[in-house]
Amino acid sequence: MAPRKPKKSKKKEVLPEGMSRREAKLAARAAERAQFAKDPRPYGGLAMETDLIALQEFVPSAVAKVEVKGTPVNIVTVLPGAGAAMVRPEDQGSERFVALQVQSHSQNPHRDLAYALNWVLDAEPGATLGSTVADGSQPELSSLISADATLSITEHQDFGWWFAEGTDVSPEIRQAMARANDAVLPSTQVKADVPGTAWWVNPGGGKAHIRWVRPEENENQMLNALARIAARGELNLGEGTKFAGAFRTHGVVVPVWDLDPSVDAASYVDALVTLNKAIEAEYASDAQLNADERKQLDNIKSRQVTI
């Protein structure tokens, strides 16, 4: 008979005070689920919320400067290879860049942004970060960026800013940048004194658009406000414009208008201000929708997408 193997000694499991083993396992699973649960409004509470959403979702090429724990960082739309972050080499200024439009990400962009910002603060010159997926080691975004901090955005119509002036890059990289430049749609921010962030874009095909990222807390209430204005025939930005619909993203509503591409983007400033007064008045109303308004609401919802 073969000798019996000695039993492996089990380490005594350390449990949280007052918890049984089963309770501890359930608590650990709940904590794991909470870590990966989708936050319905990831950038909520930040003054730069609507700017971050615009830069992440549809602005093609822009650089936004912000201070992170006293260190200047560039939050940008996209970096070479759709990477997450990089620090320029020392001889090119050691500038720090973090991208919002990335190849690899989780369903919680605020955690991904916090992860990349935290990484770039201590990264060495010349270092790059390929994936921005948060792994749980990142601090809260609110501990890195002040809630009242704003972005200083510089828009570009190409990606020449990827490299410091005078940088010698390979023909392959120049070719990749040329392809990226060809994909950039003419875009500019419409700087009206209104809540949220409005961007004009011309994708070609005979129509330009304004996308207005609104900051309201209640999405359904916002859609009701748009429906009331639409029922009066006033949901437009002036002659030759048409309300195209709205999409939801990161917990906010983004109304979109079709425009004549030959009309200068800055000419819509007054129309945005006027329409904003109507939106704010209707958003504050708790009146029930009438038949025409319900019809308009159904029409808006039928064309609505969530991204």
Cross-sheet strand order for the sheet of 305-306: 187-189, 197-201, 208-213, 252-259, 242-249, 305-306
Same domain? 200 vs 171: no
Q: Taking 90 as the threshold, does the pLDDT of residue 84 lie above it?
A: yes
Asked if residue 272 and residue 178 are part of one domain, the reply reads no
- Please give the residue range of the domain that contains residue 198: 187-306
End-to-end CA distance of the chain: 67
Q: Mind listing the pLDDT tens digit for each residue in 248-287? A: 999 999 999 999 999 999 999 999 999 999 999 999 999 9
What distance in Å separates the CA atoms of residue 52 and residue 197, rounded to the nearest whole number? 9
Same domain, 66 and 179: yes
Tell me, yes or no, whether 3 lies in a domain.
no
Same domain flag for 56 and 166: yes
Residues 65 and 177 in one domain: yes
Whole-Å CA distances, 75 to 10, 54, 102, 169, 176: 49, 12, 12, 23, 21
What lies within 8 Å, CB to CB, of 52 at 6+ separation is: 43, 46, 75, 100, 113, 151
Give me the long-range contacts of 78-83 (CB less than 8 A, separation at least 24). 78/102, 78/159, 78/180, 79/162, 80/162, 80/173, 80/176, 80/177, 81/130, 83/128, 83/129, 83/130
- Same domain, yes or no, for 53 and 115? yes
Give the range among 37-41, 84-88, 183-187, 240-244 with minimum mean pLDDT: 37-41
Check pLDDT > 70 for residue 13.
Answer: no
| Cβ atoms 84, 132 nearer than 8 A | yes
Name the region of 45 (left: φ>0; alpha: ψ -120 to 50; beta: rest): left
Question: Would you say residue 250 lies in a domain?
Answer: yes
Q: What is 251-304 written as a DSSP string?
A: TEEEEEEEE-TTS-GGGGHHHHHHHHHHHHHHHT--PPP-HHHHHHHHHHHHT-
**Could you tell me the two tokens for 178?**
């040329």
pTM for the full model? 0.86
The stretches of 64-215 forming alpha helices (DSSP H) are 109-122, 171-182
> Both 241 and 299 in a single domain?
yes
Domain boundary among 183, 213, 231: 183
The answer to whether residues 111 and 123 belong to one domain is yes
pLDDT band per the 50, 70, 90 thresholds, residue 136:
confident
Picking from 63, 62, 64, the residue whose alpha carbon sits closest to that of residue 46 is 64
pLDDT of residue 137: 87
76 lies in a domain? yes
Q: Quick one: tokens of 184?
A: 């950039």
- Looking at the structure, do residues 67 and 119 belong to the same domain, yes or no? yes
Q: Which residue has the tokens 């708790």?
A: 286
Cα separation, 24 vs 15, in Å, equals: 7
Reported confidence tier of residue 305, pLDDT bands at 50, 70, 90: confident
Q: Are residues 249 and 150 in the same domain?
A: no
Q: Is 69 within the bounds of a domain? A: yes
Alpha helices in 21-67 (DSSP H): 21-36, 49-57
Residue 71 located in a structural domain: yes
| Tokens representing residue 79 in the block | 């970096």
The verdict on 174 and 220 lying in the same domain is no
Are 63 and 129 part of one and the same domain? yes
Please tell me the total count of domains within the chain: 2
DSSP helix/strand/coil, 67: strand
Kindly tell me if the per-residue pLDDT of 2 is higher than 60: no
Query: Residue 206: inside a domain, yes or no?
Result: yes
